[in-house]
Chain A
């Protein structure tokens, strides 16, 4: 049996994600994704062309690079790309998932986690009405789905990681 490599390559981990599908080596580095990109317009470092290149090169530091959190998820680059097997919207989503797994970028969950908590409890993201406008049976069903599909567990894990990162910050 071959020796198991110590760490799986970045591309291999990206390709294991359920939303994988981009063939990074088919990127022709034309930069069309950058020209139309709102994040590139306002963030000095955000450049999807370079990011695809870094993935091709197996650059692990991309996960700790805070720039991956600059994407606006507008989807424009996906439709403008001349290749039909490159989806940078999903690439960013996957990179952020992998980053969180490694403990990077957890601070960006600050404003998102309360919304998710509302969703876990009430079945809606934004709802100031009490009781919720959804009926109780529906809320029960949503809670059940969240639980069996793994979202409840994921949100709780992110909350724990967020709290831990905050107390670590205080301790230092």
Chain B
């Protein structure tokens, strides 16, 4: 069981200071994977509205692209240029951006790091000129986990219910914890604590510690797609899920729609392949805050989940 001890490490103060506060103007960079769970998007927007923040969105943004590099389908110039274009779109509204996806988050941070090397800045400036846009370097992308952590007092203030008595297993996901540039890492990648503080501290959940807390969900960026039999991918998920089950978790909270997609879908696959049943609901932090704010069921859309979330909702008394 997770105990709120004095932190074994300090958070990255410069990063913490840079995270927008709830009263700041924030652009919401929408990811493609979260379209499979529309409640992530809607609950994030509505929950922020309740906290007094009208998030800005735009249909001019595109996919984040950074991970195409790891798909081996793009030369480096493409994701760098697409990232720059998205920065340009966001810069027309504000300099602060929040994303609800680890993939989007890491791809912005990685492209920032790659852009600093060689003559990439000049080359991408040239590409931007060809589409009639300027090179932008003062827009910064933050993760919803960072944003909600910094603004946890506002979340606590507006929450209609608490997580008291509910056992939560937290899954951060690799592409939130690990960045190319350590300066943009808020937390300690070997022992992160911001979500434990947010959920266990502010929202009174019982956060369970489990052996495979930092292990990949199993999706492995594109490992799930590379091999048709998915054996390696599922073996990692099996390890993770066994460890979560052993810890007695009522639900798994994730901060990435892709981890959600995998952990939510893989449970049925694990039952077929390894004859292990889990039935542990997986919920994204934005959906969770939506539920705690008592947003209607049509907004949080937990019906999109493969593993039923009802047992968890019943525990916290949410009726939709």
Q: Could you tell me which A residues sit within 8 Å of B by CB distance?
A: 18-19, 21, 38-39, 41-43, 69-76, 78-80, 93, 96-97, 100, 108-113, 115-116, 119, 123-129, 133-135, 137-138, 141-142, 144-146, 148-151, 154-155, 158
Contacts and interface: CB of A to CB of B under 8 A. Distances in A.
B78 A75 contact: no
Interface of B: 32-33, 35-36, 59-63, 65, 68-78, 81-82, 85, 89, 114, 117-118, 127, 130-131, 174-175, 178-179, 182, 189-190, 214-216, 218, 220-223, 225-228, 231-232, 235-236, 239
Contact of B175 (A75, A110, A149): A75
Contacts, number: 153
B85 A141 contact: yes
B59 A93 contact: no
Contacts of B189: 76, 79
Contacts of B218: 38
Contacts of A42: 231-232, 235-236
A154 B222 contact: no
Nearest to A111: B225
Contacts of B33: 125-126
| Binding site secondary structure of chain B | loop
| Binding site secondary structure of chain A | helix
A126 B35 contact: yes
20 contacts: A18-B118, A38-B220, A39-B223, A42-B236, A71-B223, A72-B220, A73-B220, A75-B178, A76-B214, A79-B178, A108-B226, A115-B71, A116-B73, A123-B63, A124-B62, A125-B63, A145-B131, A149-B78, A154-B74, A154-B75
Given A116-B71, A119-B68, A148-B127, A134 B220 contact: no
Contacts of A113: 73
B178 A74 contact: yes
